Chain A
Amino acid sequence: MKRILVLCTGNSARSQMGEGLFRQEGHGGYEVESAGTKPSQVRPEAIAVMKELGIDISGHRSKSVNEFDGQSFDYVITVCDNARDNCPVFPAGTERIHWSFEDPAAVQGTEEQRLSAFRRIRDQIHEKVRAFFASFSA
């Protein structure tokens, strides 16, 4: 089974949503993991907006990329904004793909404003994940 590792800094929002979306869209054909260079906590807003799509990531935890040392992945996908975001680099892995997404956790404001930011990034990631799988079936 092909293995995918989704990476960002905190493994709290973007890479967690990415993990859930890759698993969903991969229809069981891929083993999906996510990690961060500075793991913290899975953001409740990420869990909430994924639940809106019927995807349960409440059991995810924020993990350090070090936990995956020595493992090999077919695809390593980084989902941070840019190099200034301290985007992590995983040395192993044959195919490296980078997708820039803003950090929804950086949005301040009311709960509704924050959820709105998470939904926007969730949908952007979803679109990229769909295109990723579509590129193999084309």
Chain B
Amino acid sequence: MNKKRVLIVCSGNSARSQIAEGLIRYEADEEFEVFSAGTHPVPVREEAVSVMREIGIDISGQNSKALSQFEGLDFDLVITVCDQAREDCPVLPGDPQRLHWPFDDPATSTEVGEARFQAFRLLRDRIHGRVMVFLGEGARGDREPV
């Protein structure tokens, strides 16, 4: 089976899209080839790496990348995970299916220490929930064909 190519986009490619990339790969590596990018990339947040490690998923090898690096490449599906990306996300060739999963940016949280990690954990679990719904829709056949 050919893997579907998925690109996950947010502004920084530092937390939300990195977490979503790790979760989709973890849950459905056999179905999807997953990439992520940002319209204004900044380094991957340590908190994101840390809370993913807590559930046994290693994203320490993932890098923050500019969306422009993916110009000219085809994707079956583009998922935007922040409002910023929805506004900035350019039209990609190949007319990919688009999904929008809005999540607040945890990196803007003013919390520090443990409370900040809790914000990242809650974000991780919310994205995980959305990913499971997405995969479940595919399994039940009520997801649009990708």
Q: Which of chain A's residues 98-138 have a Cβ closer than 8 Å to chain B?
A: 98-100, 131-132, 134-135, 138
Contacting residues of chain B (100-146) with chain A, CB-CB under 8 angstroms: 111, 115, 118-119, 121-122, 125-126, 128-133, 135-137, 139-140
Q: List 8 A-B contacts (CB under 8 A).
A: A82-B27, A83-B139, A96-B129, A98-B128, A98-B129, A131-B122, A135-B119, A135-B122
Query: Residues of A with Cβ closer than 8 Å to B?
Result: 76-78, 82-83, 87-89, 95-100, 131-132, 134-135, 138
Please state if B118 and A138 are interface contacts (CB–CB under 8 Å): yes
Picked from B27, B115, B118, B125, the residue with its CB within 8 Å of the CB of A83 is B27
Q: A99 and B125: CB pair below 8 A?
A: yes
Q: A130 to B129: give the CA distance in the assembly, Å.
A: 18
CB distance from B90 to the nearest CB of A (A): 29
A77 to B133, CA, bound (A): 11
Given contacts A83-B27, A83-B28, A89-B140, contact A96 B132 (CB under 8 A): yes
Closest approach, in angstroms, between the C-beta of A50 and any C-beta of chain B?
A: 23
Contacts of A134 in B (CB 8 A): 118
Query: Are B133 and A96 in contact (CB-based, < 8 A)?
Result: yes
B133 touching A138, Cβ below 8 Å: no
Question: A135 to chain B: which residues have CB within 8 Å?
Answer: 118-119, 122
Q: Number of contact residues on B: which range applies?
A: 20 to 34
From A131, which residue of chain B is reached at the shortest CB distance? B118
Residue of A77, A100, A135 most packed against chain B (CB within 10 A): A100
In the complex, the answer to whether A87 meets B132 with C-beta atoms within 8 Å is: yes
Check A96–B126 contact: CB distance below 8 A.
yes
Q: Is the CB of B132 within 8 A of A131?
A: no
Q: Contact between A98 and B125 (Cβ–Cβ < 8 Å)?
A: yes
Residues of B within 8 A of A97 (CB): 122, 125-126, 128-129
Tell me the bound Cα distance from A138 to B122 in angstroms. Answer: 13
Complex-state Cα separation, A134 to B140, whole angstroms: 35
B55 CB to closest chain A CB, in angstroms?
A: 6
The distance from the CB of A86 to the nearest CB of chain B, in whole angstroms, is: 8
- B70: chain A residues at CB < 8 Å are none
Q: What residues on A are CB-neighbors of B55 within 8 Å?
A: 100
Closest to A37 in B: B136
The one of A83, A132, A138 that contacts B132, using a Cβ cutoff of 8 Å: A83
Distance, CA A89 to CA B118, complexed state (A) = 25
- Give B50-74 as 1s and 0s: 1 = Cβ < 8 Å from A's Cβ atoms: 0000011000000000000000000
